[in-house]
């Protein structure tokens, strides 16, 4: 995988996949440009659960992808200030 420049996205974080025990194991962010971007990061459940369905700003890097899905590696998440 190749990292691009450090960037940020704003939007709403939503769960998108669950495991066999019905725990969330995947999230995406829906941006103001109506783009759904998959989120990756450490301790997904712990770090994204408190921001679920809220307007946020995420910092990180887009990852290269071969299947045309946009994937964003999150390094920091914060609530979006109005």
> What does the DSSP 8-state code read for residue 20?
T
Report pLDDT digits (tens) over 1-44. 555 678 999 999 999 999 999 988 899 999 989 999 999 988 77
Does 1 fall in a domain? Answer: no
CA 4 to chain centre: 16
Instruction: Return the structure tokens found at 9.
Output: 């996205």
25: domain CATH number?
A: 2.40.50
Query: Which whole number is the average pLDDT over 40-62?
Result: 87
Q: What distance in Å separates the CA atoms of residue 11 and residue 78, rounded to the nearest whole number?
A: 11
Q: Domain limits at 19?
A: 7-74
- Is the pTM higher than 0.75? The answer reads yes
Report pLDDT digits (tens) over 21-32. 998 889 999 998
For 42-48, which contacts have Cβ atoms below 8 Å and span 24 or more sequence positions?
A: 47/74, 47/77, 48/13, 48/24, 48/74, 48/77
Does 61 fall in a domain? Answer: yes
Does 24 fall in a domain? Answer: yes
Number of structural domains (the chain) is 1
Does 66 fall in a domain? Answer: yes
The set of residues, in sequence order, having a beta carbon less than 8 Å from that of 36 and lying 6+ positions away, is 28, 29, 30
């Amino acid at each position: 995988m190749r990292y691009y420049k450090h960037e940020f996205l704003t939007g709403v974080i939503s769960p998108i996949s669950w495991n066999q025990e019905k725990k969330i194991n995947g999230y995406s962010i829906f941006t103001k440009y109506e783009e759904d971007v998959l989120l990756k990061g450490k301790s997904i459940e712990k770090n994204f659960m408190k921001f679920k369905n809220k307007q946020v700003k995420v910092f990180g890097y887009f990852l290269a992808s071969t299947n045309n899905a946009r994937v964003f590696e999150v390094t920091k998440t914060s609530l979006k200030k109005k």
